[in-house]
Structure 1
Amino acid sequence: MAAIIELENLSKHYSSTIIGVDDVSLSVEDGEFVTLLGPSGCGKSTLLRMIGGFEAPTHGRIRLAERDVTWDPPYKRAVNMVFQDYALFPHMTVGENIAYGLKMMGMGRAEQRTAALEALTLVGLADRFDQRPNQLSGGQRQRVALARAIVRRPKVLLLDEPLSALDARLREQMQIELKHLHDKVGITFIMVTHDQTEALVMSDRVVVMEQGRIAQEGKPQDLYDHPVSPYVANFIGTTNFVPATVADATEAAATIETAAGSLQVLLDRPVAKGAEMTLGFRPEKTRALAEGEAAENALSGHVAEVIYYGLGVRVSVEIADGTRLYVDSLLADALARSTVPQVGTKMRVAVEPHNIFLFDGRVAP
C-alpha cells in the first residue's frame, strides 16, 4: 500500500540539551493503525503534535499524501486530532459539537445534520444527538470526540492518549470499539499511548520510542517475541532478566551459565566464549516443575512469593545471586500439576531454548 505519512529525519530540539524528538524517519501506510508507544518524556506526543501541525520541527520533513506539509498549520492538513481531554464544547449539543467543523467549512445545515448523524451512528450514539456533553458518561464523551474527528473524513486521525481518562473496564471495552471503528472508516489512525496492552490489542504496527528515537518498530507479535533490546523487552510485557556468561557456543546455539544453573540458548548471531550476557524470557513461557520432574533447560531457586490474580497465579522464584524470576500459570493448570508451592520451598523452573532472548552485557534489574 502507498504511504500516507512520511517523516524524514524529523527532530524537535527545545534547547541544546533538551531534545524532544531526535532524527526520526517513519513511513505510515494508508489505512494502517500505528501506535507510538513509550514512557512519559520519550517523544511520542511531540512527534504526534508535529504530524498534526501543532508543533514545528527543528529539522526534517513531513509529507502527507506525497505533499510536503512541514510548515502548514493544522487547518491546512487533512488530519484531525482527538485530545486526551476530549475538548468538547459544553454549551453545545452532541450534534452541534460534531457539526461544528462542517459549519466552519460552510456546509448547509441539513447536510451538517445528516453527516453528524452518520458519524454518531458509527460510534453507536445516534440517540444522543440532542443531549449535552455533561449528560454523557466518560465513554460516551470519548465516542462523541471520535465522531467529531471522523465526520470530515480526514486522511489521518491522530489520537493522543484517547482512553487514559476512562476506568479499567471501560478502557478495555473502548480498545475493541476503537479498533472496530478503524476497520469501519478505513482511514489511517496514529495513536499515542504508554499502555502496552492498548498498543498490542489495537495496532497493526507498534513504534516503541526511547529518548526521542525509535527503539524498535514492527507488528505487535514480532516486538513481543523478538525484542531487539532489554528496553523493548521490558516495556512490552514482563521479562525475566538473568545475568549469565557464555560457557560454550557454536554457530547455532550456546550453553549459558547462570547462578541457578546452565541453559541452552538458540543463536541468531555469533557470541564469544566467556562473554558476559543477560538472558531474557517471559513469565508465561516459563514453567514451574513439579517435584521430581525432569527437564533439560531448568534453573533452581526457592519460592519467594505467590501472587493470585484471578485466572492465574504468578510465582516469584529467587535464585542464588538474588535475582527473582516470575513464572505465570493458569490457576487450573497449576492446581492440576500441583505446582502452586509454599513460600520458602525449593523450585526448579524450565524454559525452552527458543523462548530465550540474549542481550549483550549485564542489564540492571
Structure 2
Amino acid sequence: MAGIIELERVSKHYTKSIIGVDDVSLSIEDGEFVTLLGPSGCGKSTLLRMIGGFEQPTHGRIFLAGKDVTWEPPHRRDVNMVFQDYALFPHMTVGQNIAYGLKMLGVGRAERDAAVVEVLRLVGLPDKIDQMPHQLSGGQRQRIALARAIVRKPKVLLLDEPLSALDARMRDQMRMEMKHLHDKVGITFVMVTHDQEEALTMSDRVVVMESGRVAQDGRPQDIYDHPASPYVANFIGTTNFLPGGVVAADGGTAKVAVSGIELTALTDRPQRAGDVVTVGFRPEKLRVVPPEAACGNILSGRVSEVVYYGLGLRTALELDGGETIYVDSLLPDSLARSGLPPLGSRLAVAVEPHNVFVFPGGGAP
C-alpha cells in the first residue's frame, strides 16, 4: 500500500557541487510520527520544505495521498507547517490566530468558533482564547502554534525544529505533550530535529540523514541497538569505538582482536577472517566486573577520569592497549557512601556479544 507521503528519488541541487538532498526515496504511512534527524547541513530541512512545497526538487517526484504534488505550491497541498519561531500574528488574539486559516478558507463564524474551542481544549489551553501572544510563555506559544496548524485538519503536519526555542525543562514537557497530541488527532507528523533525544522519545520512525542521503531508517530502538554505520552509532547516543581485526567468523558470530584482547560479537553483517573493522559499544552496556575476572568479553585498564552527573557516573578507562573508553553506570548507594573510584585504580568491564557493533573498515568517527 502506498503511503500518505511518497518520495521517489528526490534530489535538490543548488549548484553542481552543492547538493542539499541526493536521490532520496521514502514512504511515510498515514498517521505515523516520523522524524528526520541529523546535524546541520545534512539535508533534513530541505527535504521537509520540499514535502511542504516551499522548495522544488531538481529531480524526482513527491506524492501526497496518491496525488503528484511535485510542482504544486504550499497552499495547494493538504499539509500545514509549524516553524521554529511559531510565526504567530502578534496583533491577533490566540483565538484569532487559530481561526485565521479557517477564515481564509471561507469557514463560517459559528463553525470557526467551535473549532477554536475544541482545538484549544486539545492542547490544554482553553482559557487563553482572548490573550495576546506576548502574554504567553514559550511553551504556551508553541502549543498555540500547534493548535493553529491542526485546526484545519491537514493530512500531514510538518514540524521544523519545533522545540528548539524552548529551555531544557520545557522541551522535556513538550516532547510528551506533542506525542500525546499526535496520538489524539491521528494526523501524520513529520518532524525535523538535530536532537537525538527528541527523535528517540517522540517518533514511530527515525530517518537519519547524512550528506543529503538516508543513512538509516527504522524504529528508534532498532536504530539505537543496531546502527547501520559508525556515523549513525556516533550520532544516536554515545558509542566507544576501537580499531580491530576479525580473527575468526562463523555464521553470525565473529571474534575480533581489539586493544590486545579478543571480543566475541554477534553480527548480522558477513565477516571474514583478516577483515579490518571498527568495533563499537555503548558506555551504558558495559558492566563493571571483579578485576580478576578472566572469562567473557572483558576489557581492563586504569581509571583516568570520573564525572558525577547525579544519576550515575561516567568513568574514563584507559585500556591496557592504550585506548580510552567510557563507562556509564548508575550510582549505587554503597558507592555514593564510599566515594568515587580513585584515579589510577584498576577497573575491569564486560560487554555482552549482542551489544558489540562490528562495522567494516578502520575509520572510526
Structures share fold, TM-score greater than 0.5: yes
> Structure 2 stretches of 5 or more lacking a match?
none
2:207 aligned partner: 207
1:229 aligned partner: 229
Q: Which sits farther off after the overlay, 206-215 or 287-296?
A: 287-296
State the secondary structure of the residue aligned to 1:39.
coil
Is the aligned partner of 1:103 residue 2:125? no
Is the aligned partner of 1:335 residue 2:343? no
Tell me the distance in 1 between the aligned counterparts of 2:181 and 2:36: 19
Moved over 6 A (4+): 336-339
- String of CA shifts for 1:328-349, please: whole Å, max 9, x gaps: 1111177299895211112111
Query: Superposed, which structure 2 residues align to 1:149-164 within 5 Å?
Result: 149-164=149-164
Kept after mapping to 1: 8 A contact 2:291/2:300 = no
Kept after mapping to 2: 8 A contact 1:295/1:350 = no
Alignment CA distance shift 1:295-1:287 (3 Å): farther
Kept after mapping to 2: 8 A contact 1:260/1:300 = no
2:78 aligned partner: 78
Tell me the distance in 1 between the aligned counterparts of 2:135 and 2:83: 20
Tell me the distance in 2 between the aligned counterparts of 1:132 and 1:355: 52
Kept after mapping to 1: 8 A contact 2:230/2:364 = no
1:49 aligned partner: 49
With structure 2 as the length reference, what TM-score do the two structures score? 0.96
Alignment CA distance shift 1:40-1:184 (3 Å): same
- String of CA shifts for 1:234-277, please: whole Å, max 9, x gaps: 11111110111222222332221112422111232332222221
Tell me the distance in 2 between the aligned counterparts of 1:69 and 1:126: 36
- String of CA shifts for 1:29-61, please: whole Å, max 9, x gaps: 000000000000000000000000000110110
Amino acid at match of 2:256: I
2:193 aligned partner: 193
- String of CA shifts for 1:34-93, please: whole Å, max 9, x gaps: 000000000000000000000011011010000001100000100000000000000000
Following superposition, the deviation at residue 197 of structure 1 comes to 0.4
- String of CA shifts for 1:100-141, please: whole Å, max 9, x gaps: 011111112222111111111110011000000000000000
With structure 1 as the length reference, what TM-score do the two structures score? 0.96
Following superposition, the deviation at residue 2 of structure 1 comes to 5.1
Kept after mapping to 2: 8 A contact 1:260/1:319 = no
Q: Which sits farther off after the overlay, 326-335 or 241-250?
A: 326-335
- Using the aligned pairs only, state the percent identity: 70
1:135 aligned partner: 135
Tell me the distance in 1 between the aligned counterparts of 2:10 and 2:29: 18
Amino acid at match of 1:305: E
- String of CA shifts for 1:280-322, please: whole Å, max 9, x gaps: 1111111122343454210122111111111111111112454
Alignment CA distance shift 1:339-1:230 (3 Å): farther
Q: Which sits farther off after the overlay, 30-39 or 311-320?
A: 311-320
1:172 aligned partner: 172
Q: CA RMSD in A?
A: 1.7
Amino acid at match of 1:261: I
Amino acid at match of 1:20: G
Tell me the distance in 2 between the aligned counterparts of 1:255 and 1:289: 21
Amino acid at match of 1:249: A
Kept after mapping to 1: 8 A contact 2:2/2:66 = no
Alignment CA distance shift 1:12-1:326 (3 Å): same
Query: Superposed, which structure 2 residues align to 1:1-365 within 5 Å?
Result: 3-332=3-332, 335=335, 340-365=340-365
Kept after mapping to 1: 8 A contact 2:54/2:74 = yes
Alignment CA distance shift 1:338-1:363 (3 Å): farther
Tell me the distance in 2 between the aligned counterparts of 1:350 and 1:363: 24
Following superposition, the deviation at residue 165 of structure 1 comes to 0.4
State the secondary structure of the residue aligned to 1:3.
coil
Tell me the distance in 2 between the aligned counterparts of 1:206 and 1:200: 8
Tell me the distance in 1 between the aligned counterparts of 2:350 and 2:170: 37
